[in-house]
Chains A and B, each alone.
Chain A
């Protein structure tokens, strides 16, 4: 067990999901899902469209009753004891739906009345945290999507939750807003909150989360630390060689694996950067210096060589075998 894992074991268990199953009609939408989230940890939940992601999230907050298995929050069963379990949770499920005919402040008051110990002072506090103080007394129907998103987060924070559940939190945010949100979530986690985030933006999850769970067809394929999961992956190395054919021949002789269908395994941004003379290989980057010497000795010019470290997206594409992500 690594040092990190030991440190993790010592933290308080906030959310625990055990053998969670849901059958709708004759189909098992969620089939034996297990994971847990501890205090101070940001957990990312990934899955393609229809993988059972939404159903799982709804079972976490008692919107859907599990067919089998259980969800516990701070030790309380969500399904059997929702009043106690949900008191520890702040959540936004899908879009932050608020009452558009009321002002932001009235919305927060409305949700404050539904939990004990939230007074106007606390409302003011969360309004300042999400920086909505300028517009909070406007009708929500005049809010932008980003402002509604922030109002939703304010609502989720009202009851000083131990667990924050955010379903696709960056929807409707501009790049600056996404950066801010990321920093904000990190601050919350550093203060000891457990954060559960679902997203279809893999790079975002990778930047944000400490641990991830990957779900496909109702089953969890992998759970673990981001580093830990991708460490087993061989990186890609992209070469620009002249003359190209000779270069490829040499790489081939050295037993280097060439990637034929680069556009299927690489991030879109990388594919866009590929040039006609690019050669994509999958290999250990330790071998690069020796290869360079060999290439040079054979008179092959090296215009560029760079390593693409394995990403979550790569791992995800491998695991779900190219199912579409949404």
Chain B
């Protein structure tokens, strides 16, 4: 009877009026300059140390890592990462491409790589975790559900509004980090090639699939993957918000599982079934840059499917619970 559009408009307006989105933007506007400053300091020391010759810096990094491979104190799992790193750096040297060439685009790529698993999900929590629970804790849910609108429509409009804001947050993170870092490093660097497709085969690095990708394309792929991760995280937070009445509890639950994910990624190489948990599959951009998967058997396709399954189950639970539940308080 009622079309969904006015409902989505309602949810969007509420989201704007709650000013959470502005808080997210503010956090980005404050934190990104700090990271930019740190990056600037690193670039400065490198320039002093190696006389502004990036080849020297790369060679030094390769030697350092090779030395550490000999050390018995370095765990075997870590050596895997270093082998790949050494191979990548050698590849860059051979092709005469500076992988650390400073620039707004490179900074954005690097920053988003690091932000994908924890920082961006945290920003998403700000809008997702109270989207349903706040209606319950303030009692407005009673007003919402006594209108002549089916419950699934109410929930669906919230979901759509959430997905729009999540997309906006991901996009803003990219844009803000590019614009701010560009002030310092310049806005160039879209066409710099980035090598992708390194694969680990036993202890060797398989270079057969390596190909150069212009940085703009790389950034675009990164954006897509981070968006996908963010949507999954948002949908899970959405479910928790339906199930838990307290907003604080819903934030804690989500943050705990995300942090557990980063801890598990560092430990779980022995426990292979951990790869079915959503939180160890969040680092999708890893597959682009060619770092080895945290757990044997994980590929980009595998992670995408796992995340999609988790999201689908979360949606199913959210809608089933929300449409059946008695509003008792």
Contacts and interface: CB of A to CB of B under 8 A. Distances in A.
A interface secondary structure, majority: loop
B326 interface: yes
Contact of A93 (B2, B13, B146, B147): B146
Contact of A97 (B7, B9, B140, B324): B140
A116 B7 CA distance: 12
B143 A113 contact: no
Contact of A114 (B7, B13, B18): B7
Contacts of B90: none
Interface string B15-42: 0011100000000000000000000000
Interface string A40-60: 000000000000000000100
A155 B328 CA distance: 22
Given A113-B7, A116-B2, A62 B147 contact: no
A57 B130 CA distance: 27
Contacts of A110: 10, 13-14
A287 to B, nearest CB: 52
B146 A83 contact: no
B139 A94 contact: yes
Given A63-B326, A114-B2, A114-B6, A155 B143 contact: yes
Given A113-B7, A114-B7, A58 B18 contact: no
B208 interface: no
What class of interface size applies to chain A in its complex with B?
A: 20 to 34
A86 B145 CA distance: 10
Interface string B133-146: 00000111011111
Interface residues of B, number: 28
Contact of B148 (A24, A82, A99, A100): A82
Interface in B149-205: 149-151
A63 B150 contact: no
A231 interface: no
Contacts of A87: 1, 148
A116 B1 CA distance: 8
A184 interface: no
Contacts of A93: 142, 146
Given A64-B328, A84-B1, A113-B9, A99 B142 contact: no
> Which 9 pairs from chain A and chain B are nearest by CB?
A97-B139, A113-B6, A87-B148, A114-B147, A86-B148, A63-B327, A61-B146, A64-B326, A93-B142
Given A62-B145, A65-B324, A84-B148, 18 more contacts: A24-B326, A58-B327, A63-B326, A64-B327, A64-B328, A82-B150, A83-B2, A83-B148, A84-B1, A87-B1, A87-B148, A97-B143, A100-B138, A101-B17, A101-B19, A102-B14, A106-B17, A116-B1
29 contacts: A24-B326, A24-B328, A58-B327, A61-B146, A63-B145, A63-B146, A64-B328, A65-B324, A82-B151, A84-B148, A85-B148, A86-B148, A87-B148, A93-B142, A93-B146, A94-B139, A94-B142, A95-B139, A97-B140, A98-B143, A99-B14, A99-B17, A99-B138, A99-B140, A110-B10, A110-B14, A113-B10, A115-B2, A159-B148
